[in-house]
Structure 1
Amino acid sequence: MLEKQVYPDLRHYPGGPPIPPYDVTGHTLGMLMGVDVDQVDEPVAADLTLLETIEPRRTPLPARPDWGYAFPPSSNAGFLAAARLQAAGIPVYRAAGRFESNAREHAPGTWLVPPADDAERILEQVAEETGLVVTAVDRAPRVEGHRLREPTRVGLWRVANNMPGGWMMWLFEQYELDHAVVSSLDFEGDLADRYDVIVLPSGTSRTRIIRGLSPDRHDESWRWAYGVGQAGWRKLRRWVEEDGGTLIALGSAVAAARRLLDLPIEPVLPARGLPARYGNRGGPTRITLGEVERRLRDVFRSSAELSRTLRSRVVDPTSLFFSPGTLLKQEYNPRHPVGYGMPETWPVFFRFDQAYQLLPGFDIPAEVVSRYPDDDDMVASGWLLGDEFLRERANVVAFEVGRGTAVTMGSQIAFRTQTRATFKLLFNAIFHGPSQPVTAAELATLQ
């Protein structure tokens, strides 16, 4: 479980499509959990004591500071603390830059809370449960920041029979987010009155949003999963552009967000599906010998055109690119609010997902939060065919769309809620989207 998995390159025939594994091929526990693990190949000589029980390290809450409390963006427990503080009506801030206090350096995204009685009670409770380290800050840092919206109301678009949506619901419950499942009934009113953020789990498509379950085949108990129609689709777009909503899409749901908001990205990986010879349901098409010769000349006029034709019309796409549950190398921008608390490099889980490249989009500013490195070997653990397709391609991208925001995550950064190392990307996007920027002077008030 702690070792890097090296999966064999198994094909149906040499150079042909791969033989799929039963499940995933990369499940190195330390990489999934965000824990550095060093393999020791030599016997260790040391005076050791057998521990009967292991308890998380607990750091006592410091004495009440003159200005405020701080806790790091690197711990997932910070999101639990933020959710509980919001539920108690306590203002929560995040520093937009690095600062020092009491000889301690604080990273961008550090959480900042006023020293109120209720805040101390909640922070002490979370620290006791999780080992979250809370420190004292006696003077206001000279940095800008963000004030979280109180509360941050999250809508989970859990279409019927969507397993990633079920896992996401469980995750939101564990971290006590203020959330609800988006219902078709919500579209009869004002979406902005109910949600600040809407999350589209993998498996959510434009068709499933618009059509949903049929009222003719499902009774009123399933009304939450009915389709919202074209009018609802347009309303969702207005909720982002005009009402300032935050839309977050994971995995295959990125395609729906891209189409909804005309996001300036396009997929770069070979499409999975039936080879072209199975796609013509209308029967054979007659073409002349001259047309055949013309098409062949076009195909062979350049290596790029030949490669494109082979990928789209001849070769099984899985022979070119195949990632059946692999931990892949990833680079992050921890200075971006969606990347707060992330290391500059850490593996990301990828299972039949997609990578993207940015397109010119002057009306929609975009920033890459995480990308695949310029590397010949993308695998951190597991099996991958087609490393070259991922080189320097985008995974997590943040967009400004009208008055709102959108964040797309090409890989499933919360896959089966096992990938704790990358939960922060999702939670950061949720809390930052509806937050308000504040100046250093405004941050200093903590009000």
Structure 2
Amino acid sequence: MLSLATPSSPPLTQGGSTASSVALLRGAAARRDAKLTSAVHAALLKSGALHPAQPLSAWNSLLHAYLQCGLLSRALRLLDETPRRDAATYATLISAHCRRGAPMDALRAFLDMLEWGAGGAADQAEDDDTVRPNEFTAAAVLQACGLARDGRLGRMVHGYLVAGGFCGDAFVVGSLVNMYAKVGDAASARRLVLGLPCRDVVSWTAIISGCVLNGMLEEALEVFVMMLEDGVLPNIVTMLSVIQACSLMGASELFRPVHALVVLLELEDDASVVNSLIMMYAKNGFVEEAMRLFNGAYLKSGNLCSNEDVLAAILYGCTISGYQKNGEGIHAHLIKMGAFPSIGIENSLMGMYARFEQVDAVHLVFSGMEAKDIVSWNTIISCLAKSDHVNEAMELFSVLHAGGGGLAPDFVTILSIVQACSNAGLLHQGQMLHGCIMKSGPISTV
């Protein structure tokens, strides 16, 4: 006797309705419960709910559940067994391909839908089972074009949607704006937005985010100004894109005005916005401003290791701007907490101390690392070589070259040690190094 009982759901009886099965499949999809999905599938087959004469709701819910569980092969097999399909079937499949980062598979599914519809027009005329796109399949295929960064294909789909009368739908227009923004066609996206009778923050933000994604930073800020002039207030997503654009441009004259706008919009308590502001300030050398935000968000709360990107940005800012004491303060907090979040942060500390010619501090961090990568070795070897500790640098290189670090020297390692030998006039050591390289084979083009 088939049992569908699971710890997270009630048992499904043989007389259970299709509606209850669909509800169970929704729950299975939300929890990505493959076992429950397979069990409901078996019950649907037994009850006859998947008979060709039955509505497609059970088929589509089952397809969606398998796709949500990551069982693509089973979902495609189910699709092959499905005698009838509708727009919802294909919207589900196209969206799933987009979610897994396979836009070309999504586009192939869209073409399959069109072919299925064309083939079905003659064969299925009696019950009008021809598959026609709806606003959801349109949005899904536009998402695929955006993911593929294929503007030519996106424009072709746009033309198809215009011919099909879809472009009066605000949902489809929003998807078109998003697609054009992602493929870097800000002009087309802007025209679509300006043609909307009611422009909202979502449509404007789609253009701004797309411009930033494609490196069109000045255009992103121009669209942001147009948005404000249109009387539309930005949201968190908008501000994250604007902050990123300002940071990448190094537009220091805009840092404080953008920060002030964040405060005016009462977004200063949002962690993602604060993190973006910290990184904007730190990466561009505005360490004092970055540290003020960092102190409030992390140091005072003792939550120092919660965001490695922010911590790395602060250390980078301290390094390029000469704020040694601030960097040392962060290091002291990490030691006090007894926690270093990653090799990358330890490498950042080593790089900072190397920049300030603090050889002992570089040694301290290096010797305390539980795991090291080639950047760790290169940093200390380079620091020693530049600080006239050439013999010690050579010793560490020998350890690394012999496999003591579980790694192999790379181009940067060789360059550092060769430069050190050259500067110190150590011809003999340089010849020994050359011999080591020749014996082990070329490491890289030096």
TM-score > 0.5 by shorter chain: no
Which structure carries more strand by proportion? 1
Structure scoring higher RCO (CA < 8 A, sep ≥ 6) equals 1
Structure label with greater radius of gyration: 2
TM-score (norm 1): 0.24
Which structure carries more helix by proportion? 2
